[in-house]
Structure 1
Amino acid sequence: MSIPILNYALSTQNQRVDGFEYLSGEEQPKIYTTDNLPTAIEMDEIIWAAYRQIFSEHQILSSTRELFLESQLRFNQVKVKDFIKGLLLSESFRNFNYNVNNNYRFVEMCIQRVLGRDVYNEREKLAFAVIIGEKGLEAFIDILLNSDEYIENFGDSTVPYQRRRIIAQRSKGEIPFNLKTPRMGQEFLVKQGMPQLLWSGPVRKFRPQEQNPKAGDPALFLNMVLDVSPLILSSS
């Protein structure tokens, strides 16, 4: 018998903040969609927007590209939603994001990038973390992509984008969801064979040039005495 998804309240302060769709100017998100029969150049932009949303600009490398999926999307063999699913289930996405985080952090990141909003609360993270633990990664991705929230906002042909603003975005310099790079937790350093960067040598202090003693300063004579005193003691 499978475990049903936990119930959680849709409570967060950010839900009281106007979304980007209510703004005008540069803050309004650009919509990338295949509804209007895009040209070859526009299709390149759609593919780039999908990579940037799912992987973030920090993780877009030649090794993360899914050329077969790109070809299928260009020839209308798959929809944008299928392309997004392919990126989420790719080996690169797993290595860069899933393997280096616990389920709670991974859930938070996927909700931000796939649904375009922050998690409602810790209960929501717990609910989806249970799904990953019991049913696996693909089942979790399917739940997000087949949810009413995703279908109503993005459908089959629109690249996900950040829909909800963050209260602290202006005051604390919060960066967009799709530009956040997951940090490797301390518990994963040993697992990945990463070296511990510990400095065992002496700690040296840097003294600015203007603070160095000048000619005639008594400190210079004290240093000279300290330098020659071992010689005097050894000769005596």
Structure 2
Amino acid sequence: MSLPLLTYAPSSQNQRVASYEVPGDEQPRIFTTDNLLSPSDLDDLIEAAYRQIFFYAFTADRERYLESQLRNGQITVRDFIRGLVLSNTFKKSFYDLNSNYRFVEQVVQRVLGRDVYNEREKIAWSIVVATKGIRGFVDELLNSEEYLSNFGYSTVPYQRRRILPSRAEGELPFNIKSPRYEAYHRAKLGFPQIIWQTEIRRFTPQEKKPKAGDPSLFLSMAQDINATGNTPQRISSYNIDIEKSVPYRKLAGIK
């Protein structure tokens, strides 16, 4: 007998704020099969799904069978997302290396496109993972009203409402603020590593760099030249023998 999902109060996060969307570079690009115009658009959709779930997929991590089914119309985008989350790559990279609480946080961010509301939501979904397993947990997320109302069967999940028009800076992307390993496993792997630099690197903007012909470009060349001159001689007028040193012309017949 499975335990019912515990209730948790949703907090007021960005994705729960309804307002007019202002287009911009920071707005997420939505990939959906509802408006595909060419086969290359489907390739972009598949790559977007890999970025959302894996952040980056190597050649060995790709699910070729799922890709083939999606290209042939045998499964929907929602089924493709389910296959990626239940794949061995995702299980080894996230479930095997984290606690249930951390695993719930990672999956909610990638599948529902938002952060977990609070610790009570982590506990609620962790109980589902413990009682129904990973497959039951993922199925409940994909069958939830929140997922279906935001992404449906044909849209790749994305981080919802990361940027608000009234804020100068938006929320950090999930892959930056939520690393794959939790603190315990990062310490086991030796992260973070402290790297000491003996040389200070300075950045000079392009507009402040010297142009061709600038004298500062030849400063190092001038400093490398080891110019040595002749040592000046110290001669006093008292030490000069005028009779021998000053030439004179002898007159004929005069001795």
CA contact 2:93–2:180 (8 Å) conserved in 1: no
- How many residues are paired up? 195
* 1:36-83 alpha-carbon deviations (Å, 9 max, x no partner): 244210010000000001111xx4211110011101111111110010
If asked which structure has higher relative contact order (CA below 8 Å, sep 6+), I would say: 1
**Residue 3 of structure 1: aligned partner:** 3
**Residue 118 of structure 2: aligned partner:** 121
1:29 positional shift: 1.6
1:2 positional shift: 1.7
Q: Secondary structure at the match of 1:136?
A: helix
**Residue 35 of structure 1: aligned partner:** 34
Structure whose residues are more often helix by fraction: 1
Structure 2 residue 178 is matched with structure 1 residue 176: no
Residue 138 of structure 1, aligned match among 132, 135, 138: 135
* 1:12-38 alpha-carbon deviations (Å, 9 max, x no partner): 45457567x723211222111111244
Q: Secondary structure at the match of 2:156?
A: coil
Residue 87 of structure 1, aligned match among 56, 69, 84: 84
Query: Measured at CA, do residues 205 and 52 of structure 1 come closer, stay the same or move farther in structure 2, by a change above 3 Å?
Result: closer
Query: Measured at CA, do residues 14 and 86 of structure 1 come closer, stay the same or move farther in structure 2, by a change above 3 Å?
Result: same
CA contact 2:5–2:124 (8 Å) conserved in 1: yes
**Residue 21 of structure 2: aligned partner:** 22
Unaligned 5+ segments in structure 1 are 198-203, 209-236
Distance 2:189 2:69 in 1: 41
Q: Secondary structure at the match of 2:98?
A: coil
**Residue 67 of structure 2: aligned partner:** 70
CA contact 2:31–2:155 (8 Å) conserved in 1: yes
Residue 157 of structure 1, aligned match among 154, 157, 179: 154
1:185 positional shift: 3.6
**Residue 232 of structure 2: aligned partner:** none
CA contact 1:18–1:165 (8 Å) conserved in 2: no
Distance 1:37 1:16 in 2: 28
Q: How does 1:55-66 map to 2 (within 5 A)?
A: 55-56=54-55, 59-66=56-63
Q: Secondary structure at the match of 1:26?
A: coil
**Residue 52 of structure 2: aligned partner:** 53
Give the RMSD, CA atoms, in angstroms. Answer: 3.0
The amino acid that maps onto 1:117 is: R
Unaligned 5+ segments in structure 2 are 201-255
Distance 1:128 1:8 in 2: 10
CA contact 2:102–2:182 (8 Å) conserved in 1: no
Distance 1:106 1:170 in 2: 31
% identity of equivalent residues: 53
